[in-house]
Structure 1
């Protein structure tokens, strides 16, 4: 008797244009059972299209809700970390710059400091460190770009000049790779080549390189003390 009532209710819901999934949610019966009961009651093409559009809208709404939720979570974490990290003292920025240089900076030339990257944000940190913490005059910096042969050289110089707030006059002749960026499988980066910020100052370079040694020694000793 219960099955008969369920079937009758399923038929009523079907006549209202509900899908198998919607009816299954109401009655709790299997999809195979519904398929048998409703085999002679297909939905119209118009109704199928409406359900498909509704499902797409529901999916998009779900994705948007998840995106907003994720953004809110990340925003809360950002605010929390900002309150922990900032403000930074001059000493903290100096040490942070040493760690940046230890990981990313050039170490083969003892008479200069240099850092290459595709990310303008990394280079802005480096330039701030040089000019605001190490008191390097900004007009002493040199910029060298590494580009691909199918890139607009002047356009890329303009991009980096505007990003880093450094005039064209401080850019040296770019290095052009004999490869087309469009032919690369993995392009990565920001699509504007690699930018190298350079300051020629042997005295400053010695100071920074010795600072890197201090950091290496400090953590080497700590690692040794933890060894069993």
Structure 2
């Protein structure tokens, strides 16, 4: 198709009220060229509104289509994960827990094993794991970090119910003063502060740290040096 015949078609399409984008899609002509050809053919205000409304509907339809495709993909990937992981054995949880503590656990105190997180599910994993090391839930203590503008009694109740640990095992929470005039976003799990769950037991702490040292040696190539652990 010659450039001149494309111009004639562009003029006809414009007369029908088509936008530059619609004409460009049909004729594969740049918008700068269309602007030159059709500069004396502006659309009416009513037609512009109609195109805008149609565009918004098209965008929303595209967004919904993408959402459904992503949802289908996520469900498919999750199904594969369920098959791949299967049922987690006690030994698998036992090993996984050391990796979890290696990344998220407190290691500075020689007598305390403490795990810190905002996600209740992850804290529950820690509780199940440390039970394999012989720690009873009744031995655990909870220490919350919250902000002063949070509903602290509600947060304590939330964590107590989520972890199935009585409030008598909760220490007085650390309350950080909220900055005046600074709006905070406490959406999702962050809306319930940070949970620090711990047990004071030297033997448990040393078992965990030495197990992590072995994992570091096997997978990180860092030889165990007992002198550094004293």
Aligned match of 1:63: 63
Change (3 A) 1:219 1:116: same
Tell me, yes or no, if the aligned pair for 2:216 and 2:222 is still in contact at 8 Å. no
Aligned match of 2:54: 54
Quote the Cα distance in structure 2 between the aligned partners of 1:182 and 1:198: 34
C-alpha displacement of 1:159: 2.2
Aligned match of 2:164: 165
Q: Secondary structure at the match of 1:11?
A: helix
Tell me, yes or no, if the aligned pair for 2:144 and 2:193 is still in contact at 8 Å. yes
TM-score normalised per structure 1: 0.82
C-alpha displacement of 1:17: 1.6
Aligned match of 2:226: none
Encode CA deviations 1:61-98: one digit per residue, 9 max, x unaligned: 22332233233333322222221222211111001001
Aligned match of 1:177: 176
Q: Secondary structure at the match of 1:41?
A: coil
C-alpha displacement of 1:19: 0.9
Change (3 A) 1:52 1:117: same
Change (3 A) 1:64 1:146: same
Quote the Cα distance in structure 2 between the aligned partners of 1:130 and 1:92: 13
Equivalences for 1:100-115 in 2 at 5 Å?
A: 100-115=100-115
C-alpha displacement of 1:130: 2.1
Quote the Cα distance in structure 1 between the aligned partners of 2:105 and 2:2: 76
Tell me, yes or no, if the aligned pair for 1:118 and 1:194 is still in contact at 8 Å. yes
Quote the Cα distance in structure 2 between the aligned partners of 1:218 and 1:5: 72
Aligned match of 1:79: 79
Quote the Cα distance in structure 2 between the aligned partners of 1:6 and 1:221: 68
Change (3 A) 1:120 1:25: same
Structure 2 unaligned residues grouped into runs of 5+: 224-230
Aligned residue-pair number = 223
Equivalences for 1:1-228 in 2 at 5 Å?
A: 5-131=5-131, 133-180=132-179, 183=182, 190-221=190-221
TM-score normalised per structure 2: 0.81
Q: Which moved more, 1:145-154 or 1:31-40?
A: 31-40
